[in-house]
Structure 1
Amino acid sequence: MKRRNFIKNTALTGVGISSTSVFSKSILNELNMTQKYPVAVATWNFQNATKMAGTMLEKGNSALDAVEKGVMVEESNLKNTTVGDGGAPDRDGNVTLDACIMSPDGNAGSVVYLKEIEHPISVARKVMEETPHVMLAGEGALQFAIQQGFKKKNLLTEEYEKAWKEWLEHKEYKPIINIENHDTIGMLCLDEKGDIAGACTTSGLSYKINGRVGDSPIIGAGLFLDNEIGGAVGTGMGEAIMKSVGSFLIVELMRQGKSPQEACEEAVMRTIKKAPNYKDFQVAYVALNKKGEIGSYCIHKGFSYAKFYKGESTDNLSDSYLDE
């Protein structure tokens, strides 16, 4: 009996091994179908930025390198007046830049109120990698950038200098919803290894009070990620995003089991519940989880996000919004 049982068990084990092998291949095929990465996604219709990042990802570059190079495209874009070179000045005529970056290991770097440096995102990465700090500000950030080899540059274009002088005649300060689809660029990348990184960079609100800093360089507000869960980026009225720590909230909601879409919707609802004047400003989020699933939600229609996946860059107008 023992011998027969042994032979029987051996035969069953052999079948089990064969079945497991087939089963494993089936599971792997299913996972390959459900995992949608590498992928790059960014706030607004910045397809050149996502194309740069997405192409790098497809070549095997890391998510961290991809998000940095991706947003740098817009930092150099003079037609984009809310990011980097050519950005709108504050009320005193200063172009001041804010940026932050996060790596898959949870490390982060940030710069605020940085002048005369075209690529604040690269300075933020240097802060992350070369110092024990997370954030540097103002003259200290500029000094550090120069020490790291960055060159000073006049970021105020003749066109925007003229516009600023015309603004001085009336000095009307009013946030513009959606700003013709040009606003802060926040980007998330998921590379072929399944690692996620994020970056956010801006010149802030046009004609802001000298010294104003918004949500973009604040870890947990304009950008947050957890490599076990996913990431989120915000855009719009920075003050509202800061008050709700929106990006951190979205990641924590995804940790609790919500989809990226559900998490973005909840974050926006948290804001409008606390802000009776929510119709006067825009807040929008984009989230990406570890499967490569994307969600977005905003207060007002008109928000879009760019995505690069499988060699294709697309503009995705968000049809999910609270309403006006």
Structure 2
Amino acid sequence: MKRRKFLKNSGVATAGIVSTPFLTSCKKDTTKKTVQVNDSKTIRPIVICTWNFLNASAEAWEVLNTGGSSLDAIEQGVMVEENDVNNQTVGTGGRPDRDGNVTLDACIMDKDGNCGAVLAMQNIANPISVARKVMQDTPHVMLAGKGAEQFAYEKGFEKTDLLTEQSKKEWLEWKKTSEYKPIINIENHDTIGMLAIDKNGDIAGGCTTSGMAYKMAGRVGDSPIIGAGLFVDNEVGGATATGVGEEVVRTVGSFLIVELMRQGKSPQEACEEGVKRIMAKNKERNDFQIGFIAINKKGETGGYCIQPGFSYRTYSGEGHVNNPSDSFLKA
């Protein structure tokens, strides 16, 4: 049953009850142009994603450039990384938890504020697509664990062994010391977050990850949490995050950045403020990474991080560019 039909029927039933008694892979980059934004120009279509995911952004741009929707562009774009076994932070090939199980998280959000997410899901290669099914075919926003996995099977997704030989080998090596210490910019805790605006000016976003390598079983970070790892408001813009998700959750980071843009800040200014809020709560720490990216309704973009080394990729009619991000801490 589709979400809208379910909610309509549920509303009728509830009314009756109440009246009775009482929601990296990378190819060679041959483009050199950079995105230039001015006060009088709106850029669309456009896609932006965390890190230098050239193939993912290219796939999303292909959808947008042929007239497709921002929502389709997001799904198709991040699936590129979910399907790349050499990307050990997302989808098939993702690094496992400390028990050797690969668990995946993802969320997606459309122009109307509809959203769906899956958390700690095993054995399904494309969590972004399952998240979209949750959004469109259920009355819920989040499904977790075995429930998410069972829902995926019911929707026709195939069972897949997500633990590749390379990730298994690294996990077995890690078990010799079992030292849990994420390494900055050696992305054993990374994700891909993506935002897109289509030719109609509609914004969508998605986020997908295998989470921190060798995490405790059941751990979920910010990536599938609407408002933390991702938030979209079609009247304002969107934001998404990467890095140590616990710190993003504590500030509801992506929602904060969108609200700052609503108040008039540029995407760049909003991302910088988002990082500053996190660092204000971690005055004695410099051992973790967070990166934010944002886009506003005009197609202006921004990105900011804690540690040097983060970048984000943009693709529009003005070029396909990897943008090194400025950072709160300096090298």
Per the normalisation by structure 2, the TM-score is 0.86
Give the 3-state SS of the residue equivalent to 1:34 in structure 2. coil
Which residue of structure 2 aligns with residue 34 of structure 1?
Answer: 41
Q: What is the rounded CA distance, in whole Å, between the counterparts of 1:319 and 1:284 in structure 2?
A: 10
Which residue of structure 2 aligns with residue 3 of structure 1?
Answer: none
Q: What is the rounded CA distance, in whole Å, between the counterparts of 2:164 and 2:212 in structure 1?
A: 16
Q: Does structure 2 retain, via aligned residues, the 8 Å contact 1:63–1:195?
A: yes
Structure 2 residue runs without a partner (length 5+): 1-36
Give the 3-state SS of the residue equivalent to 1:109 in structure 2. strand
Give the 3-state SS of the residue equivalent to 2:60 in structure 1. helix
Q: What is the rounded CA distance, in whole Å, between the counterparts of 1:311 and 1:51 in structure 2?
A: 13
**Distance verdict in 2 for CA 1:168–1:66, change over 3 Å:** same
Q: Which runs of 4+ in 1 moved over 6 A?
A: none
Q: What is the rounded CA distance, in whole Å, between the counterparts of 1:169 and 1:31 in structure 2?
A: 54
Q: What is the rounded CA distance, in whole Å, between the counterparts of 2:84 and 2:328 in structure 1?
A: 28
Give the 3-state SS of the residue equivalent to 2:286 in structure 1. helix
Q: What is the rounded CA distance, in whole Å, between the counterparts of 1:54 and 1:210 in structure 2?
A: 36
Equivalent of residue 229 in structure 2, options 222, 226, 240: 222
Query: Number of matched residues?
Result: 295
Q: C-alpha deviations, 1:81-128, integer Å up to 9, x for none?
A: 000000000000000000000000000000000000000000000000
C-alpha displacement of 1:33: 5.8
Q: Does structure 2 retain, via aligned residues, the 8 Å contact 1:80–1:182?
A: no
> What are the within-5 Å matches in structure 2 for residues 14-93 of structure 1?
34-93=41-100
C-alpha displacement of 1:321: 3.7
C-alpha displacement of 1:240: 0.3
Q: Does structure 2 retain, via aligned residues, the 8 Å contact 1:112–1:137?
A: yes
> What are the within-5 Å matches in structure 2 for residues 245-260 of structure 1?
245-260=252-267
Q: What is the rounded CA distance, in whole Å, between the counterparts of 1:78 and 1:100 in structure 2?
A: 20
Q: What is the rounded CA distance, in whole Å, between the counterparts of 1:95 and 1:181 in structure 2?
A: 13
Which residue of structure 1 aligns with residue 285 of structure 2?
Answer: 278
> What are the within-5 Å matches in structure 2 for residues 265-304 of structure 1?
265-304=272-311
Q: C-alpha deviations, 1:11-70, integer Å up to 9, x for none?
A: xxxxxxxxxxxxxxxxxxx99961011001000000100000011101000000000000
Q: What is the rounded CA distance, in whole Å, between the counterparts of 2:181 and 2:71 in structure 1?
A: 35
Per the normalisation by structure 1, the TM-score is 0.88
Larger Rg: 1 or 2?
A: 1
C-alpha displacement of 1:276: 2.9
Q: What is the rounded CA distance, in whole Å, between the counterparts of 2:166 and 2:254 in structure 1?
A: 34
Q: Does structure 1 retain, via aligned residues, the 8 Å contact 2:305–2:326?
A: no
Q: What is the rounded CA distance, in whole Å, between the counterparts of 2:116 and 2:95 in structure 1?
A: 23
Give the 3-state SS of the residue equivalent to 1:98 in structure 2. strand
Equivalent of residue 144 in structure 1, options 151, 165, 168: 151
Which residue of structure 2 aligns with residue 128 of structure 1?
Answer: 135
My pick for the range that moved more, 211-220 or 176-185, is 176-185
Identity of aligned residues (%): 61
Q: What is the rounded CA distance, in whole Å, between the counterparts of 1:286 and 1:216 in structure 2?
A: 13
- Across the aligned residues of Structure 1 and Structure 2, the Cα RMSD in angstroms comes to 1.7
Q: Does structure 2 retain, via aligned residues, the 8 Å contact 1:55–1:311?
A: no
